[in-house]
Amino acid sequence: MDLHFSAAALIQVSYLLTAFLFIMGLKRMSSPVTARSGILWAGAGMLVATLATFFYPGMTNYPWIIAAVAVGGGFAWVTGRRVAMTDMPQMIALYNGMGGGAAAAIAAVELYRGGEVTRAGATLAVVGGIIGAVSFSGSLIAFGKLQGLIRKSLRFGGQQLLNVLILAGALLLGALIAGGYDDAAGVVTGLFVLSLLLGLSMTLPIGGADMPVVISLYNALTGLAVAFEGFVLGNAAMIIAGTVVGSAGTLLTQLMARAMNRSLGNVLFSGFGDTGGASASSEVKGSLKPIEAADAGVMMAFAQKIIIVPGYGMAVAQAQHKVWELCQLLIDRGVTVRFAIHPVAGRMPGHMNVLLAEAGVPYDLIADLDEINAEFDTADVALIIGANDVVNPVARNDKSSPIYGMPILNADKAKNVIVIKRGQGAGFSGIENALFYLDNTRMLYGDGQAAVSALIAAVKSV
Amino acid sequence: MTGIVALYIFMLAAFTGYEVIARVPVILHTPLMSGSNFVHGIVLVGAMVALGSATTTLEKVIGTIGVLLAAGNAVGGYAVTERMLEMFKSSGSRAGGSRGKH
């Protein structure tokens, strides 16, 4: 008894310490200067809580626990260390889905056991279980879509109605369980089957372009599910960490949706994410004017100021290292070089910054949309590499365009625009880019990496 | 823990999460999402408790799956976040290195 009491006290103190380390860690992660130490703080918190939990009073099944931690942790460590930076969004989705699944599993254990939970506890377990299961199956679909495993977006009439029906069914079964319905095992199984189905049917219709917002939403939902299961288990560390992530994730989701000029409801209940480009494509006037790398290189070498607009295409071509090499050459010639990052460059806000950081680009050369947009007027060259829709001036003035109103980078205001592009295809959304047809725009065709290498050679030979 | 105390914790933690994130620059959104994804990996301790108290085979199987998934969340979240944040450097901190070569 005495021993149990002290073990319980140790665990409570450890969880308190963990909550402190998590919050401080997240706070430190909110500035680039201290971000690295932030994850170390949070990691220390996780270690403290996990070790303390081994001393939980009345714990059994240690071999199972240790085996499961070793297998799950080992898999995640190997994949997490190996994944390419370009694939980061889907890995976050995968790990997030695992967390949601874990929350749902806790709910399942508690609900199948039944009996000892209170009415309020059962209700919270049910709600957390539904949310966790939705986050689990939904995140796996998000992972599959970004990984290219699922290419089609399944859409049919009455889809929203179906989702509402599934949700209603899950809530009904949940109410039965919380209401103390006897012989609940079958009902519990039904609850989780319906919840998993809901995650699938909610996520399948959403297109790849909207996936970041969805992943962020599921991240927040997993946090909530963890907090609810924390209530059920009387675990303060889970309540605090889960709630902090739930509210932070909700805010982050809103910020992302706003950056993409989409409302959250729009993302979830319509299907813009991968429209086939059915609209306005033939209205663009003018012609595409190609340029040779040698000429473009000379233009850049004698420029005063260059703004580079990278897009996901640059990362796909693995050209970021070459781009930074080019920048260093130009900087050494006295050219001012800056990177302009659109909020949705890459596959989620901030993704492009990670890709540039990987290549060694210092973060103070990188500016976001609000900072840089006024500077295009004074730039001699805007170099567009792998970006398309985010520099399309159509978004400013063509009300019929699906991207009308989306905030864009004002690359068209630069004195010269050089666009590195593989071919003449349209962007991710299938919309023709008016920027490419402007008088001050030149197209440098070719693979991103090869084209930048040619530019490097050209600048060197000046 | 009584219900009302739990609600206080819930409310204060919600405000904390909002305030901590509110000042985050866009450049850190992806690592931050990944970092918060890591933080809800704390579900691991709950999954351990659930499995640690499991008695029937069904509970043990589900509990084991739970711990496995939770460990994946925590470890994977840490691995990718740390990798991303490690790379963020300012031009001040690199001046000694790359500039010296020229």
**For chain A, what percent of residues have pLDDT higher than 70?**
93
Among this protein's residues, is A295 annotated catalytic? Answer: no
Pairing label, strands A441-445, A366-368: unpaired
What tokens does A233 get?
């288990």
What sign for the dihedral angle of Cα B92, B93, B96, B99? negative
Residue of A nearest to B97 (CA): A360
Select from A59, A76, A110 the Cβ nearest to the Cβ of B75: A76
Q: How confident is the model at residue A159 (pLDDT cuts 50, 70, 90)?
A: confident
Reported as half-sphere exposure (CB side, CA atoms, 13 A), residue A142 has a value of: 35
Residues 6+ apart with CB under 8 A from B50: A105, A106, A109, A110, A233, B59, B63, B66
Best probe of the B interface among A17, A29, A48, by most B CBs < 10 A, is A29
What tokens does B98 get?
């790359």
How far is residue A33's CA from residue B89's CA, in Å, rounded to a whole number? 8
Contact A222, A103 (CB under 8 A): yes
Say what the alpha-carbon torsion angle A337, A343, A346, A352 is, to the nearest 10 degrees: 40
Task: Give the pTM.
Answer: 0.84
**Across A96-105, A361-370, B23-32, least confident range:** B23-32
Say whether A77 sits in a helix, a strand or coil.
helix
Q: How confident is the model at residue B82 (pLDDT cuts 50, 70, 90)?
A: very high
Contact A39, B82 (CB under 8 A): yes
**Across A211-225, A270-284, A319-333, B4-18, least confident range:** A270-284
DSSP string covering A150-173: -------TTHHHHHHHHHHHHHHH
Say what the alpha-carbon torsion angle A189, A190, A192, A193 is, to the nearest 10 degrees: 110
Residue range A24-42, pLDDT digits in tens = 999 998 888 888 999 999 9
Residue range A116-131, pLDDT digits in tens = 567 888 899 999 999 9
**Across A73-77, A131-135, A364-368, B41-45, least confident range:** A364-368
Which chain A residues are closer than 8 Å to B79 by Cβ? Answer: 76-77, 80-81
What are phi and psi for residue A408, nearest 5 degrees? -125, 165
Say whether A366 sits in a helix, a strand or coil.
strand
pLDDT over threshold 80, residue B30? yes
Strand partners for A339: A308, A366
CB contact under 8 Å between A95 and B77, yes or no, is yes
CB contact under 8 Å between B28 and A29, yes or no, is yes
**Across A302-316, A355-369, A393-407, B34-48, least confident range:** A393-407
Q: How confident is the model at residue A425 (pLDDT cuts 50, 70, 90)?
A: low
Q: What is the CA radius of gyration of chain A?
A: 26
Select from A26, A61, A106 the Cβ nearest to the Cβ of B20: A26
Say whether A418 sits in a helix, a strand or coil.
strand
Residue range A226-249, pLDDT digits in tens = 999 999 998 999 999 999 999 999
Q: H helices of A271-350, where?
A: 293-301, 312-316, 320-332
Cα dist. A440→A376, A411, B56 in Å? 13, 11, 73
Say what the alpha-carbon torsion angle A106, A112, A118, A123 is, to the nearest 10 degrees: 70
Measure CA A282 to chain center: 33
User: How wide is the angle at C-alpha A315 spanned by C-alphas A311 and A316, nearest 5°?
Assistant: 110
Contact A86, A138 (CB under 8 A): no
What pLDDT is recorded for position A220? 95
Q: How confident is the model at residue A74 (pLDDT cuts 50, 70, 90)?
A: very high
In terms of Cβ atoms closer than 10 Å to its own Cβ (0-12, 13-18, 19+), residue A171 is middle
Helices vs. strands in chain B: H and E counts, helices first: 5, 0
Is B59 at the interface with chain A, CB within 8 A?
A: yes
Select from A31, A73, A328 the Cβ nearest to the Cβ of B71: A73
Which chain B residues are closer than 8 Å to A364 by Cβ? Answer: 90-92
